[in-house]
Amino acid sequence: MADNNTLNADKEQLLDEVRSVLNNTEELLASAGDNGSEKARELNLKLQNNLKLAKSRLLDAEKIARGRAKDAAKATDHYVHENPWKAIGITAAVAFLLGLLVSRR
């Protein structure tokens, strides 16, 4: 469970960093303005389009990740309600193994 929380935290941190990069890129493009040659303007337009596409894909990835997390939570909740003693046994076994690992250090 702790590994899953760490993984989720890492994913959230990565998504935050990607959002930050996209926002910084948008700011840089906006500050660059339309000064320059026609080729520079075309490049700026292509970069803006790619940035919009990246943001759209990031939003899609976030929706998918949230949906999967909700599905996993529902499945876990259902399993625990259907098999409470198995869930308690698994939790006890994992806690015991973690205790052994921690005590060795």
The yes-or-no verdict on residue 14 having pLDDT over 80 is no
What is the pTM (predicted TM-score) of this model?
0.51
**Domain-located, residue 85:** no
Both tokens assigned to 85? 């003693």
90 is a domain residue: no
65-69-74-75 Cα dihedral, nearest 10 degrees: 100
Name the percent of the chain in helix, strand, coil, to the closest 5: 90, 0, 10
**Is residue 103 in some structural domain?**
no
**CA distance readout (Å), 20 to 33, 36, 53:** 20, 27, 15
Per-residue pLDDT of 22-47, as tens digits, reads: 777 777 777 666 566 777 777 778 88
Q: What is the pLDDT of residues 52-104, one digit of tens each?
A: 888 888 888 888 888 888 999 999 899 889 999 998 999 999 999 999 989 88
Find the farthest-apart pair of alpha carbons in the chain and give their distance in angstroms, rounded: 71
Mean pLDDT to the nearest integer, 9-16: 75
How many domains would you assign to the chain? 1
| Residue range(s) defining the domain that contains residue 72 | 2-80
CA 72 to CA 102: how far, in whole Å? 28
Q: Does some domain include residue 94? A: no
Tokens of 33: 């303005």
Q: Is residue 9 a part of any domain in this protein?
A: yes
Is residue 87 in a domain? no
Q: 100 in a domain, yes or no? A: no
Check residue 58 and give its pLDDT. Answer: 82
